[in-house]
């Protein structure tokens, strides 16, 4: 695609890529990705439904979990249209504005996820290190403030990205390396000076993911110190057990993210599809696994799921009888 493939407003189109080198397996990828989308959307919707219905879950820890589920739904829904179009219908063209909108939402939800994991670690820190102050620190009003803080921060840092890209001239073949629009991918394409874009991109990474991961680590160092001071082994394990789901959520968010940046920096000779698969992992793994982990590890959610299952069995039994 060349520079004259511009739309009427003079803005370029972009070409999305499926899995370079694996074109023969595109339909299998479509089946796999379709299944992952279904698991993610069904799992996160179910978590939200259970938290809403189950009175015992109306507490800060689960309000933050609801935010995480809404956010994971956002991540899934912001990549779904172009991923399905690319893998299923081989529609690979995307307009400039659609691409910018998608890029905004993917990065917005990504930064949000990091912020939500940070407030969840603060929740665990207060619950374990200052249990007596838990009810006064994590009031409903403070939970709302923290939630709004996470949303506002995310919007503020990601909002300039499309505007900074819009001012640049695009004159090469605008082929992206994924089936969706990502900022690191897009800033390789313009012909103009991208210094500001690079510096701002780095600022976002350090001020959000960098800062959040350090603060999460500090909160866990303090939690561990507190836990090791507990005399009985059973109590220690019981206390740590309340953090397991959150630790898993942190790992499945940060490990793929770090792996993606490592592959981009050092995997220059890796086949193209390795880069694509790594970035798919980063966008697909957390929304699919978070509801699974929380369903397995949270007693109240498990109990509610069990009730739903029994209810369904009773209904189907009644229908068979009638």
pTM: 0.88
Please report whether residue 6 resides in a domain.
no
pLDDT tens for each residue of 234-254: 888 888 888 888 999 999 999
Please report whether residue 271 resides in a domain.
yes
Q: For the chain, what is the total number of helices (H) and then of strands (E)?
A: 13, 2
Q: Hey, CA dihedral for 270, 34, 39, 65, is it positive or negative?
A: positive
Please report whether residue 322 resides in a domain.
no
Please report whether residue 217 resides in a domain.
yes
Q: Is the pLDDT of residue 276 over 90?
A: no
Q: Count the alpha carbons within 13 Å of 34 in the hemisphere toward its beta carbon.
A: 11
Q: How confident is the model at residue 40 (pLDDT cuts 50, 70, 90)?
A: very high
Angle between helices 26-53 and 272-297 (to 10 degrees): 30
Please report whether residue 2 resides in a domain.
no
- Domain containing 276 — which CATH number? 1.20.1070.10
Structure-token match 């290190």, residue found: 129
User: What is residue 170's three-state secondary structure?
Assistant: coil
pLDDT tens for each residue of 51-93: 998 888 899 999 999 999 999 999 999 998 888 888 777 788 9
Element (H, E) at 66: helix 60-88
Report the candidate in 178, 172, 185 with the shortest Cα–Cα distance to residue 272: 178
Q: Hey, CA dihedral for 54, 55, 58, 59, is it positive or negative?
A: negative
Please report whether residue 3 resides in a domain.
no
Give the Cα separation of 213 and 141 in Å (integer): 25
pLDDT tens for each residue of 109-152: 999 999 999 999 999 999 999 999 999 999 999 999 999 999 99
Q: Are 49 and 291 in contact (CB under 8 A)?
A: no
Please count the structural domains in the chain.
1
Report which of residues 44 and 260 the model is more confident about: 44
Q: How confident is the model at residue 316 (pLDDT cuts 50, 70, 90)?
A: low
Please report whether residue 247 resides in a domain.
yes
Please report whether residue 135 resides in a domain.
yes
Q: Is the pLDDT of residue 5 over 80?
A: no
Three-state SS sequence of 34-52: HHHHHHHHHHHHHHHHHHH
Q: Which residues form the domain of 265?
A: 13-314
């Amino acid at each position: 695609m060349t520079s004259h493939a511009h739309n009427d407003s003079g803005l370029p189109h972009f070409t999305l890529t499926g899995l370079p080198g694996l074109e023969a397996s595109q339909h299998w990828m479509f089946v796999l990705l379709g299944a992952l989308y279904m698991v993610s959307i069904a799992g996160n919707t179910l978590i939200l439904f259970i938290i809403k219905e189950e009175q015992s879950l109306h507490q800060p820890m689960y309000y933050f979990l609801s935010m995480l589920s809404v956010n994971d739904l956002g991540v899934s829904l912001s990549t779904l249209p172009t991923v399905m179009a690319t893998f299923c219908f081989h529609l690979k063209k995307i307009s400039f504005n659609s691409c910018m909108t998608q890029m905004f939402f993917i990065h917005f939800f990504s930064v949000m996820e990091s912020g939500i994991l940070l407030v969840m670690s603060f929740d665990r820190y207060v619950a374990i290190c200052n249990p007596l102050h838990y009810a006064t620190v994590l009031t409903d009003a403070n939970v709302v403030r923290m939630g709004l803080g996470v949303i506002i921060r995310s919007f503020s840092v990601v909002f300039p990205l499309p505007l900074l890209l819009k001012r640049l001239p695009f004159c090469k073949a605008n082929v992206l390396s994924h089936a969706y629009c990502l900022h690191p991918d897009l800033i390789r394409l313009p012909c103009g000076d991208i210094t500001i874009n690079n510096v701002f991109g780095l600022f976002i990474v350090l001020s959000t993911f960098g800062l959040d991961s350090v603060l999460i680590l500090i909160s866990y160092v303090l939690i561990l110190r507190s836990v090791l001071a507990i005399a009985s082994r059973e109590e220690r394990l019981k206390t740590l057990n309340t953090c397991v789901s959150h630790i898993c959520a942190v790992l499945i968010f940060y490990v793929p993210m770090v792996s993606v940046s490592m592959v981009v920096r050092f995997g220059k000779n890796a086949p193209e599809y390795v880069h694509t698969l790594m970035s798919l992992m980063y966008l697909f793994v957390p929304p699919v696994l978070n509801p699974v982990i929380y369903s397995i590890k949270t007693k109240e959610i498990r109990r509610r799921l069990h009730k739903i299952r029994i209810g369904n069995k009773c209904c189907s039994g009644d229908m068979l009888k009638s």
